[in-house]
Amino acid sequence: MARRRLKGRRTEREGVSEHPTRRRVLAGGATALLASVTGCSGATPFVGKRTERIETVAVDGADRLLVRTDLGDVTLRAADRDDIGVRITKQASSVTADLSDLAFRVERTGGELLLRSAFTGDTESFGGRPSMSLEVTLPRSLPVSTVESSVGDVTVEGVVGDVDAETDTGDVRLRGVSGSVRAAASTGDVTVTDPGAIRGARTDTGNVTADVPAVDGDVRVESRTGDAAVAVGGDIDADLRVATNAGDVSVSGVSLSDATRSERLIAGTLGDGGPDLDVETRTGNASVSPLN
């Protein structure tokens, strides 16, 4: 693994990825189903099918964990345990849907352990494809590499590893990851709290909020349509650029040397300077504040 230059850091994206076109077809065709499955309220009782079970997966010498689902939420949390617990929830809005068409798979390649959902049906039923959500509890010592959903929320808390987290449609929330993180969504909010360092955070439609205690090379925190807000550590060394095409820009409570300011752009040097730290949005507000 190539060495990366970390400035002010307090302290693997590898995996099997699906073809981008297929992922976007899944996301586009499944968004309405996910909304109908998860949008139930007390006023509208759930009508459909739902099953839940728990499986245990042995680590068996794995040195990194990947989790991937086509349609459903993914949650990872670390705990004091030696194996991996997985709560598997399947549901569909149609009573005619076949929940057995979605299967849970465990795949091992070298030191890589992949947990994923797999659609085993020939065609989608009239009610659409059911969803499978995975809630994973893993040992604190097992590094996490990749967490992905095509349609669903991604939540990762308290794990170790250099984590890449991504969804096409849904929110991404990373909290207390001790390694270097990257988070991305196409439609949804992205929130990164208390990472060891950051490599980037992005959403096309939604708000992005990120703590930046340290930068891992050049970093972009951006939203195309939404606000971009960053809190930077006091000892960070970076060349800062904060910009918007339509909105407000602000840098407050942060020491910025060699600063240039205009209505839509603020740029300058944090600490001794170094890698680029770009905070940008096309339509929305861009802001930088101190990390408490």
The domain limits of the chain are 49-152, 162-292
pLDDT at position 105, please?
96
* 51 C-beta neighbours (distance < 10 Å), count: 14
- Residue 263 confidence (pLDDT) above 60: yes
pLDDT at position 187, please?
98
27/237: higher pLDDT: 237
Rg of the chain over Cα atoms, rounded to whole angstroms, equals: 20
Ordered alpha helix ranges (H), the chain: 20-38
Mean pLDDT of 168-195: 98
pLDDT digit string, tens, across residues 136-147: 999 999 999 999
- Residue 3 confidence (pLDDT) above 70: no
Within 13 A of 143's CA, how many CA atoms are on the CB side?
A: 18
Q: Which of 169, 167, 176 is nearest to 144 (CA)?
A: 176
Q: Answer yes or no: are the C-beta atoms of 76 and 159 closer than 8 Å.
A: yes
Query: Which of 18-22, 45-49, 83-87 is the least confident region?
Result: 18-22
- Residue 23 confidence (pLDDT) above 90: no
Q: What dihedral angle (degrees, nearest 10) is formed by the CA atoms of 189, 220, 167, 34?
A: 20
- Residue 28 confidence (pLDDT) above 50: no
Residue-level length of the chain = 292
Q: Which of 208, 248, 240 is nearest to 224 (CA)?
A: 208
Q: b/e per residue, 186-211, with b = 16+ CB within 10 A?
A: bbbbbbbeebbbbbbbbbbebbbbbb
∠232-236-241 over CA atoms, to 5°? 65
- Residue 32 confidence (pLDDT) above 70: no
Q: Answer yes or no: are the C-beta atoms of 84 and 56 closer than 8 Å.
A: yes
204/37: higher pLDDT: 204
- Residue 244 confidence (pLDDT) above 50: yes
pTM: 0.82
Across the chain, mean pLDDT equals 86
Tokens of 44: 């509208």
Beta strands in 80-143 (DSSP E): 84-92, 102-109, 112-119, 131-139
